[in-house]
Amino acid sequence: MLWFKLKAGALQLTLFIAVVIALLLTAFILLVHTHKRFNIQTNLIIETTRNADKGIHYVLTNDIQINDSTTIDLQGEVYESLRLNHQFWGVYGRLTSVSKIKNNQIVKSALIGELTPDKDRIALYLQDNKRPLVVVGNTRIEGVSYLPKQGVKSGNISGQSYYGSQFIYGNIRTANKQPNIFTDIIKKINSTKENILAFSENQFLNIKSGKDYKNSFFKPSQIVFSNAQIDLFNVTMIGNIIIQSKTKISVDASTVLKDVILIAPEIEIRNNFKGNLQAFASDRLVVGERVQLNYPSALILTEKVTSQRTVNSQISDVKQMTIGSSSEIKGSLLYYGRPKLNNNDVQLELKENSVITGEVFCNQNLELKGTVFGSVYTNNFIAKQFGSIYQNHIYNGKIIINDLPKEYLGLSLNNSKKGVIKWLY
């Protein structure tokens, strides 16, 4: 029999190796277990996100009640839930989809609008007031146009006639009455104002020049409110913020505004301002020169009814929206005023070299001297030139629907297909 004498250190080495192997095996088992749990958790998050997307798609393809929460039956496990909320953010729909699976929650929020049809997109809809449309100078209208029964003809202003080769570069159809866009917009505006009444004290902001204010759309709205004039100068305001004055709001070019809402009887956006916003006025809305309002912006003037005066209103009390020269707005313009007798004033004026990419709605008199890449709906055109007033005349104005991107999403009209304008943050 042979005997081998081993050193004591060998046993320690053996034990060390055994411990290392045991630790490696344990680590491997933990890694596999963690990987499986990670895969399960990842799959749950992916499924939660998919459900949130389903909620967005559901609202885009179905009508749900405004300012109300809707629970969607996912026909899955009891620990899955999907809740939708559809309300207004200004004139656009604001959709929130809240998806939950166990402890996982995904919230998505988006502004939604309506697509213009792929075919027969409307360039001009001029209400039939029993007089023809008259085109003068370098006026150009491209696209499907709804005109009065009297049609369209050329005119002459101070020796200048119409220089185009044809009156309308597109199909001409007979107009009747304007769509119900105004009723829908008034409803949205009233909804926005009513929501302000429900604000709590901690939602009010006191702003100071030189400061930045940001508020997520996943948090309650914040509001800047004053009975006096609000001057926005050298201040940054981004997100879920409403600014309201009982008299006037003035926006300086030094101010940064993104996705906010302005509400006041009078709103002035000064020269060279750049940003994106929605502005709601009741008396006067003035956009200065060289202003750039990015998509999706909206400028809305709705004349407030303060008495029984409607048709007999004084013309001196006329309200006006003006877009300054060389300004560019991407989004929607809407003027809604009371009917007036013998109305020879301009209610909505697009000055020379102004460019609107989107939609223009006016139920009164529109003076078009700029360019609209999109659609124009109006009751009447007016041209004030060389001391004279020309009814239903367009002088050097342009309406070109084909230069409006097909992906453009605008205000609700004719219950067309809805889509996501932008994802909120």
- Asked if residue 225 is part of any domain, the answer here is yes
- The β-bridge relationship of strands 222-226 and 348-350 is unpaired
Quickly state the pLDDT bin for 303 (edges 50, 70, 90): confident
Mark whether 55 and 111 lie in a shared domain. Answer: yes
Mark whether 193 and 247 lie in a shared domain. Answer: yes
Mark whether 269 and 339 lie in a shared domain. Answer: yes
Q: Over the stretch 354-405, which tens digit does the pLDDT of each residue have?
A: 999 999 999 999 999 999 999 999 999 999 998 899 999 999 999 999 999 9
- Listed range (97-106, 110-119, 264-273) with the worst mean pLDDT: 110-119
Question: Which of 11-20, 40-49, 123-132 is predicted most confidently?
Answer: 123-132
Which range marks the domain in which residue 168 is found? Answer: 122-304+311-405
What pLDDT, on a 0 to 100 scale, did the predictor assign at position 307?
A: 39
What pLDDT, on a 0 to 100 scale, did the predictor assign at position 380?
A: 95
Is 416's pLDDT higher than 50?
A: yes
What pLDDT, on a 0 to 100 scale, did the predictor assign at position 308?
A: 43
Question: Which of 192-206, 297-311, 409-423 is predicted most confidently?
Answer: 409-423
Mean pLDDT to the nearest integer, 96-125: 89
Q: Over the stretch 208-228, which tens digit does the pLDDT of each residue have?
A: 999 999 999 999 999 999 999
- Listed range (74-78, 141-145, 150-154, 383-387) with the worst mean pLDDT: 74-78
Mean pLDDT to the nearest integer, 122-150: 95
What pLDDT, on a 0 to 100 scale, did the predictor assign at position 189?
A: 67
Mean pLDDT to the nearest integer, 147-169: 94
Q: How far apart are CA 98 and CA 248, in angstroms?
A: 37
- Asked if residue 81 is part of any domain, the answer here is yes
Mark whether 95 and 188 lie in a shared domain. Answer: no
Mark whether 171 and 296 lie in a shared domain. Answer: yes
HSE of 272 in the Cβ direction (CA atoms, 13 Å)? 4
Mark whether 280 and 189 lie in a shared domain. Answer: yes
Mean pLDDT to the nearest integer, 69-96: 82
What pLDDT, on a 0 to 100 scale, did the predictor assign at position 411?
A: 84
Last residue of a domain, one of 115, 148, 169: 115
Last residue of a domain, one of 89, 115, 141: 115
Between residues 317 and 328, the one the model is more confident about: 328
Question: Which of 89-98, 277-286, 408-417 is predicted most confidently?
Answer: 277-286
| HEC per residue, the chain | CCCCCCCHHHHHHHHHHHHHHHHHHHHHHHHHHHHHHHHHHHHHHHHHHHHHHHHHHHHHHCCCCCCEEEEECCCCCCCEEEEEEEEEECCEEEEEEEEEECCEEEEEEEEEEEECCCCCCEEEEECCCCCCEEEEECCEEECEEEECCCCEEECCECCECECCCCCCECCEEECCCCCCHHHHHHHHHHHHHHHHHCCCHHHECCCCCCCEEEECCCCCCEEEEECCCEEECCCEEEECEEEEECCEEEECCCCEEEEEEEECCEEEECCCCEEEEEEEECCEEEECCCCEEEEEEEEEEECCCCCCCCCCCCHHHCCEEEECCCCEEEEEEEEECCCCCCCCCCCEEECCCCEEEEEEEEEEEEEECCEEEEEEEEEEEEEEECCEEEECEEECCEEEHHHCCCCCEECCCCCCCEEEEEECC
In the chain, the percentage of residues whose pLDDT exceeds 70 is: 87
What pLDDT, on a 0 to 100 scale, did the predictor assign at position 31?
A: 81
Mark whether 352 and 250 lie in a shared domain. Answer: yes
- Asked if residue 397 is part of any domain, the answer here is yes
Between residues 128 and 35, the one the model is more confident about: 128
